[in-house]
């Protein structure tokens, strides 16, 4: 496999692992000393689009048919398949956990020592005051969702980069 595919897979896989691990840490009880979700989400999306475009371009450049992708994935070494598969599954589980634990409230603002959230339930739309504890829980829930989705997308991009690299490998010479 050429170096550019390995670099692409390392970048997408490493960033995906960081996002998935950080999203998984928000499931632990208590407040974690994580940076704000805006910083981590900004990093994830700032890297997601160029890496996604690079993966798509490399996939198009290989010029092979889509039906051969599974066979190319099976040609990867066993440990690589295991790590990529585990990363995709962990990202999907985190994204599912983020989607199912969502409440009808979203973090909004802190003004004059009071905590406010935005209520999204159909009957009570609008701003409501919440306790500090509930506000902290809403912050972690928002952070989990905003990190799990880019982590899952980057995990799939890792698999696609490795498959494209395997498909671009020159065919062995006939003997």
CA pair distance 140, 45, nearest whole angstrom: 19
CA 50 to each of CA 6, 43, 44, 45, 91: distance values in angstroms, whole numbers, following the listed order: 16, 12, 11, 9, 20
CA pair distance 35, 26, nearest whole angstrom: 12
Work out whether the CA dihedral 113, 111, 35, 136 comes out positive or negative: positive
> Could you tell me which of 2, 3, 8, 21 has the C-alpha nearest to residue 150?
21
pLDDT, one tens digit per residue, over 50-70 is 999 988 888 888 877 778 888
pLDDT, one tens digit per residue, over 78-113 is 999 999 999 989 988 888 887 777 666 666 677 788
Q: What is the mean pLDDT of residues 1-30?
A: 86
Q: For 148, what's the count of Cα atoms within 13 Å in the CB-facing half-sphere?
A: 25
The per-residue pLDDT for 34 is 67
113 burial level (CB within 10 Å; 0-12, 13-18, 19+) = exposed
pTM here is 0.79
Q: What is the mean pLDDT of residues 138-163?
A: 85
């Amino acid at each position: 496999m050429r170096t550019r595919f390995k670099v692409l897979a390392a970048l997408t896989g490493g960033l995906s692992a960081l996002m998935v691990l950080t999203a998984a840490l928000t499931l632990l009880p208590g407040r974690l000393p994580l940076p704000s979700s805006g910083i981590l989400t900004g990093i994830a999306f700032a890297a997601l689009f160029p890496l996604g475009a690079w993966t798509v371009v490399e996939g198009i450049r290989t010029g092979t048919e889509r039906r051969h992708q599974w066979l190319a994935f099976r040609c990867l070494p066993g440990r690589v398949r295991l790590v990529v598969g585990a990363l995709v599954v962990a990202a999907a589980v985190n994204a599912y956990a983020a989607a199912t634990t969502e409440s009808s409230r979203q973090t909004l603002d802190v003004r004059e020592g009071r905590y406010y959230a935005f209520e999204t339930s159909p009957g009570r739309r609008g701003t409501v005051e919440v306790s500090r504890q509930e506000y902290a829980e809403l912050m972690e829930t928002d952070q989990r969702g905003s990190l799990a989705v880019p982590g899952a997308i980057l995990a799939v991009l890792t698999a696609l980069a490795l498959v494209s690299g395997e498909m671009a490998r020159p065919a062995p010479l006939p003997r």
